[in-house]
Amino acid sequence: MSEQSAARAAELDASDELAVCRELFSLDKETVYLDGNSLGALPRHVPDRMRDVMEREWGQLRIRSWDESGWWTAPERTGDRIAPIIGAAAGTTVVGDSTSVNVFKALVAAIRMADPARDEVLVDATTFPTDGYVAESAARMTGKRLVPYTPGDPMGPRTAAVLVNHVDYRTGRLHDLPGITAAAHEAGALAVWDLCHSAGALPVGLEAHEVDFAVGCTYKYLNGGPGSPAFLYVRPDHQSSFDSPLPGWNSHADPFGMTPDFTPGTGAVRGRVGTPDILSMLALESALDVWDGVSIEAVRAKSLALTDFFLEHVTLESVTPAAHAERGSQVSLRCADAGAVMKELIARGVVGDFRQPDILRFGFTPLYVGFADAERAAAVLASVLA
């Protein structure tokens, strides 16, 4: 890259209001980390928090920590920390289980709420494979027919529910959540959204757009750590009729009553199943501290500026849309022998990933990625290709 490009990157970094957030993460200066769309970086303070959890809360207080350390309420408390990031109200989001499990809960619940005469479940045709597997099983279990769906296509009187990824994991394409949700409702169907590649990267507006159900992982742009528990959102007016296909003692109205008959709890509690995974839950809760005082609108503005800057400096074909309204927070480039190219990039200190057969993926996490990172990544990529 030219000296002018490097100077421009330095100028942009100097004016970046989110630059201070970078110091909150454990990152080495020798590496450009552009894989936060797979696994977010470690916030610096989390190891100290986890030492306290393990040594004092678990090691000393032991069973008392369910009450005294707030373990029991962690799923709802952590959900309330995520809620404003995804445009949801308090009491609508619960944390626990994996994204796949939560997709199953949400989709089956949506099908159960729909008119029984509706016999089709739509799932976007390029969805993350697991979502497709879960949707096929949910449709089979409920006696419905699974239909591939291209986001934006019309829905009809046979549609019970539609499952869509907000951002396509391969291409980084941002789908029209407000428009598709409104179209589903106009057709008499319910909308379930997978936010894995948008939560923490851009405004979602679940409440504003009357989304029925949403799920998402927390280890990408929310930096919760490998395998950190996912979240489940249920629209407030659906909560009383939310019929989870996985009821458990943790979602019971009286969990310690140990009664043989199930009576669901109220609110977000209905999304719980079994004993929460406390260590990873509390690591996530602590990681969310980096969001204090940060607006998702500022994150989105920087994300678009970063990806614009990167796209200006690469020569490979981008399969990520140029239009801001259609772009998530990653750039996917088409490249022959993508696996070997990414391996060499990583060897030279630029960490992204690839998807078969020919896609290089670069995730831009605005809390810790800067313009100098984007400039360096583009320069190293050009060197590798040369």
Q: Which residues are annotated as a binding site?
A: 99-100, 128-131, 194, 197, 219, 249, 275
Binding-site residues from annotation for pyridoxal 5'-phosphate? 99-100, 128-131, 194, 197, 219, 249, 275
Residue 361 is among the residues annotated as catalytic for this protein? yes
Residue 115 is among the residues annotated as catalytic for this protein? no
Residue 143 zone, left/alpha/beta (φ > 0; ψ -120 to 50; rest): left
Alpha helix (H) residue ranges in the chain: 3-14, 46-52, 65-68, 74-82, 99-113, 129-141, 177-186, 278-287, 296-312, 338-347, 371-385
Q: Write down the residue that tokens 């399969």 correspond to.
A: 319
Options 22, 361, 362, 371, the catalytic residue: 361
> What 3-state class would DSSP assign to 331?
strand
CA–CA dist 108, 104 (Å, integer): 6
Residue 67 is among the residues annotated as catalytic for this protein? no
CA–CA dist 50, 87 (Å, integer): 28
Going by C-alpha positions, the residue among 285, 271, 286, 293 that lies closest to residue 92 is 271
Residue 220 is among the residues annotated as catalytic for this protein? yes
Options 25, 33, 219, 309, the catalytic residue: 219
* φ/ψ (deg, to 5) at 216: -175, 155
CA–CA dist 312, 377 (Å, integer): 12
CA–CA dist 167, 124 (Å, integer): 11
Options 128, 242, 310, 362, the catalytic residue: 128
Residue 262 is among the residues annotated as catalytic for this protein? no
Q: Is the CB of residue 303 less than 8 Å from the CB of residue 201?
A: yes
Which residues are part of the catalytic machinery?
128, 194, 219-220, 361
